[in-house]
Every structure is written in C-alpha cells, then in structure tokens.
Amino acid sequence: MPGTPARARAWLEAHPATGGPADLSRVELLVWIGELDAARRVGVGLPAGSQWERFEREVELAFVDFVATADGDLGPVRRAIDDLPAGDRQTAKAILAVEEARQLAAARLDFLPPLLGAREALGPSLDGFLVPDLARWLGRRLLVLGAISAVTCFIVAGALPPR
C-alpha cells in the first residue's frame, strides 16, 4: 500500500474502482487523503450480494461517516452482524470492537473495553498469533541489527582487530 498521499493518489488513479471487494482498500485510501465524498460513493457501491459483503459495506460506511462527521453510527453494523452465519459473527464482532475503540479513542475516552471484550470472546483461538506475526516482518531486521551490533562490540572491545 502507498505510504504517502501522493503515492495514494497515484495508486488510486492506476487502479480504478471496480465495484468489487478490492474497493475496500480504495475507501480507506480515499479517507486517508481526505476525499470523503469519493470514499462514501465507493463505499455505497461496494458489493452487497452476501451477508458478509453487506457487513463489510456497513463497516466502511460507518468509518467514512465517523471521519467526516465524528458520528459513525454503528447501529447498521450491529444489525448486519445479526444477519451473519454463526461462524462469521465472532470475527465481525472483533471488527466492530475495533471500530468502537476507534470512536472512543477519538473522543479521548477509554478505548480498551471493546477490545478486551472481543479478546475475551475469541478466547484461546488468538493465543500464539503475535510471535509468528512479529517474527515474519521483524525477525530478519533484528537479526541483521544484532549481527552488526555484535561485530561492533567485538571491535570496540578489541576482540576483533579493525582492518
């Protein structure tokens, strides 16, 4: 994903809206660069053929409304969760908890309760997730940094002669 607003605009121009699930990231990029009306239009055009797609669309629209007006009504998101199959509800409730936490944090209120509630509801299925995920993107960098630090320490201590 693009790291600057200019790159985001370039990416958006190179990848036009399709009206499909790929437009989820498009909505978030448009919000990030301040194109809230465009983000809402793309959000309204997200697919709604399945119950999960309707849920995703409601989450994105609530996010856009929240950024635009500071009033992201999560009622439609909650109703969409009620329509989901039982197997998808836990994941959807965790996504809802993130949105609730975002709104609480923006209001400078305690944002942890919805996240802790979601964590408790998901239980042990989340155990052991963090370490492999961190290792995937951080491990190699830490290994290189550790090797450079060790060699530097050996040179400074005189254990390795400088060349």
Residue 136 has pLDDT above 70, yes or no: yes
Residue tagged 């660069």 (tokens) = 33
| Stretch 55-78: mean pLDDT | 94
DSSP assignment of 79-101: HHHHTS-HHHHHHHHHHHHHHHH
Averaged confidence pLDDT in the chain:
88
Give pLDDT, residue 163.
63
Give pLDDT, residue 35.
95
Residue tagged 């949105």 (tokens) = 99
Do 109 and 161 share a domain, yes or no?
Answer: no
- Which of 25, 27, 30 is CA-nearest to residue 44? 27
Strands (DSSP E) contained in the chain are none
What range does the domain containing 156 cover? 128-163
How many domains is the chain built from?
2
Do 34 and 59 share a domain, yes or no?
Answer: yes
Query: Dihedral, CA atoms, 18, 2, 77, 104, nearest 10 degrees?
Result: -160
Do 63 and 120 share a domain, yes or no?
Answer: yes
Give pLDDT, residue 58.
96
Do 82 and 117 share a domain, yes or no?
Answer: yes
Give pLDDT, residue 1.
72
